[in-house]
Each structure stands twice: as structure tokens, then as C-alpha cells.
Amino acid sequence: MVLVLFDSDVLVSKIILAGCIAVLFYLILHYALKMLEMGYVLKYMKPWYTHFYLRSKKLSKQQRHVLQQDFPFFNKLDKKYRGYFEHRLVSFMSDKDFLGREGFQVNDEVKVLISATAVMLTFGFRDYYIGIISKIMIYPKAFYSNTNKTFHKGEFNPRLGVLVLSWEDFKLGLDISNDNLNLGIHEFTHAIHINSIKERDISSTIFSDSFKELKELLQHRPELRETLLSSGYFRNYAFTNQFEFLAVLMETFIETPKEFQANFPEVYAKVRQMLNFKFANY
């Protein structure tokens, strides 16, 4: 009996030791890979990989119809990337709470188009959830904001994790696709910007570091800064502060990329680097 107990204790000890060694090996390997990727990021300013899904999620037939009909970016992607986009869209919609205000009814069209805007902006990211957002509130049109006692078309509250949109103005931004005015892109950029400051995952690091490089470029190139200011290509609101500047840059990058690249190639390259945008002819 004593011998049996002794053998049993030895076996348990060996199992525990093997488990500890396995965990230690995993941690060392995980840390080593993270360090290697960070070195890769510092050199090339892009992640090792962006898309990896064990099982792809699919939209319903109705949801896919909305996406194909009303979101041109999706149709610019090749078949493989359209599958990735669908997976991310389903995942993003499941992760957020969509709340209608002032009688507004949230349906598939609303969820798909708003979420597609977020997924588009983060399509070059590995982590695309924009974790700082937990709720998306939709009003039928411009709403009164208690924050600064005025009417807003959209706003983002990082403290509450709430992004708020006027559906009327959001849709207008989609329907007119070449005026460099897109409420969805603008407000989601604010959320991505703040999220990149808060988080330190690979994509957030690339986003925030690339924006820092852009600010340094403009600081050391006063003639480029002056050209930006006087060109009329970026609306005056862009120069309110760094957050509005970045939001307007993203609107112009998405809506008129060829004109942006032709007029300001260095700035365009930095924005493209921030988003890791290497698809859909960007």
C-alpha cells in the first residue's frame, strides 16, 4: 500500500512538473515571437499577419444584399478579402450594442452599414474590434448634446464607451462618396485614435506611431504644412486640433484617394501606413 501511494505521488509530481515546463515553454515562445514581431514592425511598420480565422462567419442573405448594394468598398475587394470582411462584420455587430433613440428603429441595414464603416477603417488591423466602443447610439437626425449644449450630427464619448450618430447624416455621408465628408468615418476615426493611445497591441502601435511620424513630418516641413493649410483640399475644421485633423484626413483618404495621393503623396503614404491599407486600389 505504501509503495502504491509512493508511485502515485511520484506520477502526480511528474505530471505537475511537465505541466509547469510546458507553460514555461509556451510563455518563453510567446514572448520571443512578440519580440520578433515587434522588431519586424519597427522595421517595416506593418504586422506579420492580419487575417487568421479558424472558422469564417457569414452574413445572412439580406445583410449581404445591403452590403453589396450600399457599401462600394466591399465590392472593390477580391473574393478572399470579401470573405474576411464578412467575418469581421458579423463579429463586430455581435460585439456592440446598437441602441435607437427618439423612436429610431435599429434594423439590419443600420447595423450592417455602420459596422461596415468601422470594419473598413480597421481592415488592415489585426485587432479590429475598437474595444473602447461598447455601445452605438443612433438618432434619426441631428441631436441635442448635453455635453456642450448644442446640436450634433455625431460624437464619441470615450469615458462611457459610446459612439453616437445621426442616421440622416450618416447616410448622407455614404450617399455622396466624393465630397470628403463622411460622418461615420469621422466619428469612428476619433474612437480608433483614442483606442490606439489606450491600447498597445500591434495595430494600435503602428497607428499611433505612424501618426506621430506624420506630425513630426509636418513640424519639420513648414512649406508642406502651409500647402496643406492653403490648398482648400482639407476643410478648415481639420485644423481645429490633432483629433479633427486626423478625422478629416481619414475622410479624404477613403473618399478621394487618387486626388489625395497626387496632391500630398507623403501625407497619403503616412495615412496608408497608419491603416495598413494595401487593398481595394489604395
Residues of each domain in the chain carrying CATH 1.10.472.150: 61-198
Interacting residues of 143 by C-beta distance below 8 A, sequence separation 6+: 101, 102, 151, 152, 164, 166
- What is the pLDDT at residue 12? 64
CA angle 121, 126, 127 (to 5 degrees): 80
**Collapsed DSSP state (helix, strand, coil) of residue 73:** helix
DSSP string over 231-268: SSSS-GGGGS-HHHHHHHHHHHHHH-HHHHHHH-HHHH
What pLDDT was estimated at residue 237? 94
Cβ proximity of 125 and 203 under 8 Å: yes
pLDDT 10s digits, 211-235: 999 999 999 999 999 999 999 999 9
Confidence of residue 189 (pLDDT cuts 50, 70, 90): very high
Dihedral pair phi/psi, residue 246, rounded to 5°: -65, -40
Q: pLDDT-derived band of residue 31, with 50, 70 and 90 as boundaries?
A: low
Q: How far apart are CA 198 and CA 44, in angstroms?
A: 23
pLDDT over 80 at 243, yes or no: yes
Domain with residues 61-198, CATH architecture:
Orthogonal Bundle (1.10)
* pLDDT tens sequence across 76-109: 999 999 999 999 999 999 999 999 999 999 999 9
Q: What is the mean pLDDT of residues 10-25?
A: 69
State in Å, rounded, how far the first CA of the chain is from the last one: 74
pTM, whole model, 2 decimals? 0.89
Distance in angstroms (rounded) separating the CA atoms of residues 66 and 231: 37
Identify which of 138, 250, 115, 136 has the alpha carbon closest to the alpha carbon of residue 193.
Answer: 250
Residue scoring higher pLDDT (21 or 132) = 132
Q: Is residue 30's pLDDT more than 60?
A: no
The pLDDT value recorded for residue 224 is 96
Q: What is the structure's pLDDT at 263? A: 97
Q: 38-42, 71-75, 76-80: which has the minimum mean pLDDT?
A: 38-42
pLDDT digit string, tens, across residues 259-272: 999 999 999 999 99
pLDDT at 68: 98
Tell me the pLDDT tens digit for each residue of 160-179: 999 999 999 999 999 999 99
